[in-house]
Homo-oligomer: A and B are copies of this chain.
């Protein structure tokens, strides 16, 4: 229950202390729907991974950023990415190069 295909995309947008508005994330992750973006952000907020900052103004503005704990996922994620990059098949065809 409660999956999350988009959480990783969201985190990548937020890593490095970046602050992004809802519409920023929408544009940066074109394949995600408003519903999913909103839902995953709420879950991540509940899980203490992202912080939601509402600016009381009109039109409304909401910023999202990683919490310290969320930021601290970076090394583990890098380790994972390194593992993926080190897979045996990577020797032969990691990128599709012309020719």
A residues near B, CB below 8 A? 3, 48, 69, 72-73, 75-76, 79-80, 82-83, 86-89
Output the least CB separation between A58 and chain B (Å): 33
**Does more than half of chain A's interface fall in helix, strand or loop, or is it mixed?**
helix
Residue of B nearest to A89 (CB): B48
Q: Chain copies in the assembly?
A: 2
Q: Are A82 and B76 in contact (CB under 8 A)?
A: yes
CB distance from A75 to the nearest CB of B (A): 6
Query: Does B73 lie within 8 Å of A76, measured CB to CB?
Result: no
Could you tell me the distance between the alpha carbons of A3 and B5 in the complex, rounded to whole angstroms? 10
Q: Report the minimum CB–CB distance from A62 to chain B (whole Å).
A: 22
Contacting residues, chain B, for A80 (C-beta < 8 A): 76, 79-80
Contact A69 B87 (CB under 8 A): yes
